[in-house]
Amino acid sequence: MLTQQQVDYFNTNGFLIIPDFADPKQLLEKAQELAANAQDSNCVFTTSQDPMGDDYFLSSGDKISYFYEEASGGNSHSKENSLSKTINKIGHGLHLREEIFKDFSTGKEIQEIATSLGFNDPRILQSMLIFKNARVGGEVPPHQDSTFIYTNPNSTIGFWFTLQDATRENGCMEFFPGSHSYQISKRMVRSSAKKGTEFVYLDKEPEIKDDDFIKYPTKAGTLVLIHGNVYHRTAKNNSDKSRWVYAWHMIEGEYEYPSSNWLQTELTRAK
């Protein structure tokens, strides 16, 4: 269980860093296997404000799907930049397709964390491997996870487990502490007027400045808890060392999960 001090820190800052949570070796080996056998999907994962929208992306919730860096040009991979080197993400149903990810995401320790954070019916909605390969991994701009994973009321919590060291040079997590007090200003939903997704704007976006963010380097084996409303970002990887992460999102199963959400998939019980 989280201590009261840890819960208070999370409630105050909108995130919590738990060093030495688990040995990442087995998950890293599985990630290396999946990356080595990457399939060319011709699907670029964009970090811009333009929502994604092809069928491959929309149907990825219960599959192992492959997404590539914008800089790689989709499926135009050179000999020097192979599929495994230009991959951005593998998701979003790893916990449904691979036992090692399911067991990790729903293990006793995770159940206890969910209980500590007040979940009554914790559900795993999506899971993914996130890559920032050396010299290729792109910037992820400031965002709130609840923009993309919405419940009514909001309940999204991100779990971010480092498989490799996340440093200041290769794209460690950056948080705007306390910004979970902001409501989400938009939602990404399935478009009713056209194929794909679109943003529905709920409120004016707050002014977010570079100085608001603090970098938090983390060693491999660290678990980071992320409130769905806290603003966070990661920088481009300009180093010679990769930064791989296994991440998943949990929601409260008792709350409404709208059919307009872009991700429609099985909700896996976390306990």
Q: What is the pLDDT of residues 83-104, one digit of tens each?
A: 888 999 999 999 999 999 999 9
User: How far apart, in whole angstroms, are the C-alpha atoms of residue 96 and residue 127?
Assistant: 9
Residue 31 within any structural domain of the chain? no
For residues 134, 29, 84, 50, the Cα torsion angle rounded to the nearest 10 degrees is: -80
Cα angle: 83, vertex 87, 89; to 5 degrees: 145
Q: Where are the alpha helices (H) located in the chain, listed in sequence order?
A: 4-13, 25-36, 55-58, 83-86, 94-97, 99-105, 108-116
Tens of pLDDT, residues 140-164? 999 999 999 999 999 999 999 999 9
Q: How long is the chain?
A: 271
- Examine the pLDDT at 192 and tell me if it is beyond 80: no
Instruction: Identify how many contiguous H helices and E strands the chain contains and give both numbers.
Output: 7, 14
Predicted local confidence at residue 74, as pLDDT: 43
Q: Which whole number is the average pLDDT over 252-264?
A: 93
User: 200: how many CB neighbours lie within 10 A of its CB?
Assistant: 13
Does residue 223 fall inside a structural domain? yes
Using one digit for the tens of pLDDT, what is the confidence trace for 130-141? 999 999 999 999
**In the prediction, which pLDDT does 56 show?**
86
Mean pLDDT, range 247-266, rounded to an integer: 93
Q: Return the higher-pLDDT residue of 198 and 222.
A: 222
117-132 mean pLDDT: 96
State the pLDDT at residue 7. 98
What is the percent of the chain where pLDDT is above 70?
Answer: 92
Q: Has residue 50 got a pLDDT over 70?
A: no
Q: Is residue 239 part of a domain?
A: yes
Q: Is residue 263 part of a domain?
A: yes
Residue 36 binned pLDDT confidence (cut-offs 50, 70, 90): very high
Q: What is the pLDDT of residue 48?
A: 57
pLDDT number for residue 76: 41
Percent of the chain at pLDDT > 90 equals 77
Query: Has residue 56 been placed in a domain?
Result: no
Q: Indicate which CATH number applies to the domain containing 237.
A: 2.60.120.620
| Structural domain contains residue 238 | yes
Total-model pTM = 0.93
Residue 107 belongs to a domain = yes
Tens digits of residue pLDDT in 209-232: 999 999 999 999 999 999 999 999
Query: For residue 166, what are the β-bridge partners?
Result: 218
Domain total in the chain: 1
Position 224 in a domain: yes
Of the listed ranges 62-71, 189-198, 225-234, the one predicted with least confidence: 189-198
Separation of alpha carbons 145 and 161, rounded Å? 16
B/e letters for 105-119, b = 16+ CB within 10 Å, e = fewer, are bbeeebbebbebbeb
Tell me, what's the pLDDT at 78? Answer: 44
- The CA-to-CA distance between both ends of the chain, in Å, stands at 14
Structure tokens that stand for 41 in this block: 């999907």
Please give the residue range of the domain that contains residue 214.
4-24+100-269
